Structure 1
Amino acid sequence: MITAIVLIHTAADRIPEAAQEIADIEGVAEVYSCAGDVDLIAILRVPAHEDLARIIPPKISKVPGVLDTDTHIAFRSFSSADTEGAFAIGVPDAD
């Protein structure tokens, strides 16, 4: 699974509507409205790099109010949570 973080600049009067329209696009896992240098941050999770090409330029960039995007591809995930343990709840150890 490929994870991409898309930083999105939008027109100020379209932030909530743009966020929801982006969140409704297949492949977009989450959209955050935030303070700082960008208006929205979208997290995409897709099976192949080609999927990013079919989502970002033709869909996210065309949402009314979106002014600019900047995409970052994640290559490794770090977490303080034990995600493997969370998914194994109630499942006996295979060892």
Structure 2
Amino acid sequence: MHMINAIVLIHADAHRIPETAQAVADLPGVSTVYSCAGDIDLIAVVKVRDHEQIAEVVTGGINKVDGVVKTATHIAFQSYSSADVEAGFSIGE
């Protein structure tokens, strides 16, 4: 089954970042939430079966979480990985 991945950049209320991150992480369709330094407070990785579900997760879920101020959603088309990094993990197997 092919999954659609979306990366959601989240601006959050600075005083509620941990609670906001946990609430977003608990939403169906959200696989991971990262807190980060820089212009963005949180990054959520959404994995769903179709494009309509992205709208449901982001608009109907993430944007309604207390502490979420603004979001920007990016659809992932292709994933790339470093062969060097993967080879490093296979050492000793």
When the two structures are superposed, what TM-score results if normalisation uses the length of structure 1?
0.84
Deviant stretches of 4+, over 6 Å: none
Q: Which residue of 2 aligns with 1:11?
A: 13
Radius of gyration: which is bigger? 1
Residue aligned with 1:57, SS: helix
Rounded Cα–Cα distance in structure 1 between residues aligned with 2:68 and 2:55: 17
Listed as ranges, the gaps of 5+ residues in structure 2 are none
Deviations 1:11-44 (A, max 9, x none): 0011000000000011101000000110000001
Q: Which residue of 2 aligns with 1:45?
A: 47
2:59 pairs, out of 57, 60, 73, with 57
Residue aligned with 2:52, SS: helix
Letter in 1 for 2:21: A
Q: Which residue of 2 aligns with 1:74?
A: 76
Work out whether 1:35 is the aligned partner of 2:37: yes
When the two structures are superposed, what TM-score results if normalisation uses the length of structure 2?
0.85
Higher share in helix: 2
Residue aligned with 1:71, SS: strand
In percent, how many aligned pairs have the same letter? 57
- RMSD of the alignment, in Å? 1.5
